[in-house]
């Protein structure tokens, strides 16, 4: 029966050793000594006095003070305090921002400005343009959008008109890419 009780205490003491070894300056042997003296958690070490801890560990009060400070920093960095402090504040401020953003949505955009914006990007023959002219709104200039996608033939014709150094450079890039592809095929 005594052995069963002792085996039940071992998992707890091994967990405590892991917790205590997280404290800077506490190794496995010192953790075992701390557990034997009743300091089984970082919180207990943080609340200990330097004189009591130095007597238990047979070390100087300066070393005991450093251990206490390290334990306090470990205890103060616990997740529950972080969640209650920083994360709770962030969640609250984000909710307030979302509520503020919902108040200022479509109410600020006037229909006249919406019509002008749609005219700026539409064709001259669009129904919106004709409707705006009948309502007496000023007509907006058509914004010429650049052609971002070009056909390869258009690209090649543009290359033919460019200077020869650009053409040579592009040909070299194409040759290098083809060589890399061939190397990958034959090595793979």
Query: Tell me, what CATH number does 14's domain have?
Result: 1.10.150
pLDDT for 26-37, tens place per residue?
A: 888 888 998 999
* Together in a domain, 72 and 13: yes
State how many domains the chain has.
2
Long-range contacts of 27-32 (CB under 8 A, 24+ apart): 30/57
* Together in a domain, 13 and 64: yes
Q: What is the pLDDT of residue 177?
A: 94
Residue 50 and residue 65 in contact, taking contact as beta carbons nearer than 8 Å: yes
| 43 within a domain of the structure (yes/no) | yes
* Together in a domain, 14 and 71: yes
| 178 within a domain of the structure (yes/no) | no
| 72 within a domain of the structure (yes/no) | yes
* Together in a domain, 27 and 72: yes
* Together in a domain, 69 and 114: no
How much helix, strand and coil, in percent to the nearest 5, is found in the chain? 75, 0, 25
Question: Which structural domain, as residue segments, surrounds residue 40?
Answer: 9-76
End residue of a domain, out of 76, 91, 122: 76
Lowest mean pLDDT among 80-94, 146-160, 174-188: 80-94
Four-point Cα dihedral 137, 140, 142, 148, nearest 10: -110
Q: What is the mean pLDDT of residues 75-91?
A: 54
Residue 53 and residue 64 in contact, taking contact as beta carbons nearer than 8 Å: yes
| pLDDT over 70 at 133, yes or no | no
Q: How confident is the model at residue 153 (pLDDT cuts 50, 70, 90)?
A: low
* Together in a domain, 119 and 63: no
> Among 24, 103, 31, which Cα is nearest to 70's?
24
Q: What is the pLDDT of residue 178?
A: 94
pLDDT for 45-69, tens place per residue?
A: 889 999 998 998 889 999 999 999 9
* Together in a domain, 72 and 125: no
Q: What are the residues whose beta carbons fall under 8 Å from the beta carbon of 145, sequence distance 6 or more?
A: 121
| 171 within a domain of the structure (yes/no) | no
* Together in a domain, 71 and 129: no
Q: How far is CA 18 from the centre of its chain?
A: 29
Residue 23 and residue 70 in contact, taking contact as beta carbons nearer than 8 Å: yes
* Together in a domain, 72 and 128: no
């Amino acid at each position: 029966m005594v052995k069963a009780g002792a085996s039940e205490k071992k998992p707890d003491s091994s967990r405590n050793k892991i917790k205590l070894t997280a404290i800077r300056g506490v190794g496995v042997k010192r953790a075992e000594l701390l557990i034997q003296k009743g300091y089984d958690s970082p919180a207990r070490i943080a609340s200990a006095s330097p004189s009591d801890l130095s007597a238990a560990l047979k070390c100087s009060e300066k070393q005991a003070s450093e251990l206490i400070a390290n334990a306090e920093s470990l205890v103060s960095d616990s997740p529950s305090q972080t969640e209650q402090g920083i994360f709770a504040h962030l969640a609250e401020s984000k909710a307030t921002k979302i509520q503020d953003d919902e108040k200022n949505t479509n109410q600020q955009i006037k229909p006249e400005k919406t019509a002008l914006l749609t005219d700026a990007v539409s064709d001259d023959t669009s129904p919106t343009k004709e409707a705006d002219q009948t309502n007496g709104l000023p007509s907006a200039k058509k914004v010429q959008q650049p052609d971002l996608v070009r056909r390869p033939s258009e690209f090649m014709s543009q290359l033919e008109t460019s200077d020869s150094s650009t053409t040579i450079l592009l040909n070299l890039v194409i040759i290098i890419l083809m060589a890399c592809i061939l190397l990958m095929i034959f090595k793979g």
